[in-house]
A and B are shown apart, each in its own frame.
Chain A
Amino acid sequence: MELNLDAFERFAVHFDKGNIIFCEYEPGDAFYLIQDGRVQISKIMGDIEKTIDILHPGEIFGEMAILEEAPRSANAICLDPVKALEFNRANFEVLMRGNPQIALKLLKLFTKRIYDQRRRFMILTLEDNHAKVADVFLMLDESQAGSKPEGSERVFYTTPGDIGHWAGISPEVSRDVLNQFQTQRRLEIYTDRIVVKNINEFARFVNSRRKKRDES
């Protein structure tokens, strides 16, 4: 599906390599469709800047801004000189109506976001922290679907801090829970990765907690 965006030239914005397009916590009112160059999506967590994603031409970012005026949830930084189309709430509807390709792209992005948010919500509604942490691993495992390895052992290149972020608990609490899991030999923690010994066992554990809630 080739996009013909010549008519959108006047919405084009240019950034130099290294420029910040927006940073976390900044109020946002625009979203972008990359035409040239790569954009790094990152978040500063404590003393490190974590890359969440690297986006290429044809991809959309900052789209939450058209839904609500919440602060940006991450930084968008140019890895190359970047040309992008800038949309905002005022021009959005007209532009989308005239250009169903972009609207469709956005629609697909929303389906993905809805899924991610639903999944996150389900994690957060679990009652105890152990179930939350286990469910984060299940979520990470689901997102690796398609390339699922044989057996029930899974390797995740993640940290206790990240797990805590997804589970909505502090890095300290997350580390505590993970250490207990480690003591029970249900997982192993390394500096760059966490190995879950039996992902199916985590699935059963989480399901039983969820069922208990639904029945109560």
Chain B
Amino acid sequence: MPKAMTYKANSVIYFQGDVSDRIFILKGGRVSLNSNDIETGEQVRDFIQTGEFFGVKSALGKYPREENAVALADSHVVVFSVPEFEQLALSNSRIVMKMLNVFSNQLRRLHTKVRGLLAEGEQADPELGLFRIGEYYMKKKEYEKALYAFQKYLTYYPSGAYHQLANKHAQQAEQYVSQYGVGRGPGLRGAESGASASSETGRESAGGRGTGSAKTGELDPVAKQYYTAVSSFSQGNYTGAMKQFKAIVDTSEDREYVVKSMFEIGRCLFNLGHYDSCIRHYTALVQRYPKMPDLDDALYYLGQSYEHSGDTNRAGGFYKKILSRPGVSEALKRKVNNALRNLEGA
């Protein structure tokens, strides 16, 4: 049972450094918590309001008291053990919520301070950090984990400094996952040699991919490659088509066909039911090429993918955005209006 107690003026309720499982609530009188500020070392006094708890953190966390609790006037308190306090808290969630608020504020402030002190040292750039995690797992042949990290990278930094490399590694990781499984197959070294192998054919190594490129021969113009891929797509061979489009993206220097192929890769993903990947792909594409010719269609597929993923809010957002754009084709407008009616009916 919680116990009512009285402390005379100027008596100490507990000392800094004490270890105790007692939690107090002030019923009347005046109590001050005295401590030294951890930043400046200055004396700090915190006055407890009537009805307020004190001694909670150290009791719940089982660590030494961080302050002296002193009764400044004759004070009445109720003392709880930790289990008694928990009992009370469970029947009164407002108490816990209030404390959660207070504690989370303290924690946030502490975090900010700690981060400030670390500013010059260990604070890594999160973009590079995320990319390096992918690299680490790639080296360790944990392709699924590598894939996760690279995909996250591409989601959050679609046009980041390492997006080309991340893209390349992600594809490689994806391939290795299915080809070798976990812990086998080439590491990052393999990926690098893949890039250098393709640079031997006279291209920039960045963005290159050693495997999976269509063997169309050096004399075949990129247009032929493109239409072969389109033909695969129209036959419903989306996986094959996607590979062929990717090969164009990786090997061609013809910007027009590269952008077109990237657009088609999104359609392949959509038709394969990979809505998440499709969203990521088009989001990245739209940011990179805001003036691309197929932009309206890309927005439409974004809307469709969100709709299929159950995010009707975002889907609706994209549909409305399309309608607000100038020069949208009538056919697309009809499709978008249908989709919007569908959403409202749902």
Residue of B nearest to A215 (CB): B41
- Asked whether, in the complex, the Cβ of A96 is within 8 Å of the Cβ of B61, the reply is no
In the bound complex, residues from chain B placing their C-beta under 8 Å from that of A71 are 126, 129-130
- Asked whether, in the complex, the Cβ of B90 is within 8 Å of the Cβ of A124, the reply is no
- Asked whether, in the complex, the Cβ of A24 is within 8 Å of the Cβ of B121, the reply is no
Main DSSP-derived SS at the B contact region: helix
Residue of B nearest to A43 (CB): B133
Shortest distance from the beta carbon of A72 to any chain B beta carbon, whole Å: 9
- Asked whether, in the complex, the Cβ of B57 is within 8 Å of the Cβ of A114, the reply is yes
Q: Digit string of B111-134 for contact with A (CB within 8 Å is 1, else 0)? A: 101100110011010110110110
Q: A26 interface residue, CB < 8 Å from B?
A: yes
In the bound complex, residues from chain A placing their C-beta under 8 Å from that of B56 are 111
- Asked whether, in the complex, the Cβ of A169 is within 8 Å of the Cβ of B121, the reply is yes
- Asked whether, in the complex, the Cβ of B110 is within 8 Å of the Cβ of A118, the reply is yes
Q: Digit string of A8-48 for contact with B (CB within 8 Å is 1, else 0)? A: 00000000001110011111000000000000000010010
B86, B104, B122: most-surrounded residue (chain A CB, <10 A): B104
**Known A-B contacts A49-B136, A68-B111, A103-B100; A125 and B93 likewise in contact (beta carbons under 8 Å):** no
The one of B41, B60, B121 that contacts A214, using a Cβ cutoff of 8 Å: B41
- Asked whether, in the complex, the Cβ of B100 is within 8 Å of the Cβ of A100, the reply is no
- Asked whether, in the complex, the Cβ of B97 is within 8 Å of the Cβ of A111, the reply is no
- Asked whether, in the complex, the Cβ of A44 is within 8 Å of the Cβ of B133, the reply is yes
Q: Digit string of B90-107 for contact with A (CB within 8 Å is 1, else 0)? A: 111100110110011011
Q: A101 interface residue, CB < 8 Å from B?
A: yes
Q: Digit string of A76-118 for contact with B (CB within 8 Å is 1, else 0)? A: 0100000000000000010011111101101110111111011
Interface size on A, residues (CB 8 A): 52
- Asked whether, in the complex, the Cβ of B96 is within 8 Å of the Cβ of A100, the reply is yes
The one of B41, B113, B117, B133 that contacts A25, using a Cβ cutoff of 8 Å: B133
Q: B89 interface residue, CB < 8 Å from A?
A: yes
In the bound complex, residues from chain A placing their C-beta under 8 Å from that of B117 are 121, 124-125, 168
- Asked whether, in the complex, the Cβ of B38 is within 8 Å of the Cβ of A67, the reply is no
In the bound complex, residues from chain A placing their C-beta under 8 Å from that of B156 are 26-27
- Asked whether, in the complex, the Cβ of B130 is within 8 Å of the Cβ of A96, the reply is no
- Asked whether, in the complex, the Cβ of B118 is within 8 Å of the Cβ of A44, the reply is no
Q: How far is it, in angstroms, between the C-alpha of A129 and the C-alpha of B341 when the chains are bound? A: 66
Q: How far is it, in angstroms, between the C-alpha of A191 and the C-alpha of B31 when the chains are bound? A: 51
- Asked whether, in the complex, the Cβ of A114 is within 8 Å of the Cβ of B124, the reply is no
The one of B99, B103, B129 that contacts A24, using a Cβ cutoff of 8 Å: B129
- Asked whether, in the complex, the Cβ of A114 is within 8 Å of the Cβ of B107, the reply is yes
The one of B38, B100, B111, B182 that contacts A107, using a Cβ cutoff of 8 Å: B100
Closest 8 CB pairs of A and B: A214-B41, A111-B61, A25-B129, A100-B93, A117-B110, A25-B130, A124-B117, A110-B103
Given contact pairs A103-B93, A107-B89, A115-B57, enumerate 11 new A-B contacts (beta carbons under 8 Å): A23-B148, A24-B129, A26-B130, A44-B136, A49-B136, A67-B111, A77-B145, A98-B93, A107-B100, A110-B107, A117-B110
- B interface residues with partner A (beta carbon < 8 Å): 36, 38-39, 41, 56-58, 60-61, 63, 66, 86, 89-93, 96-97, 99-100, 103-104, 106-108, 110-111, 113-114, 117-118, 121-122, 124, 126-127, 129-130, 132-133, 136, 140, 144-145, 148-149, 152, 156, 182
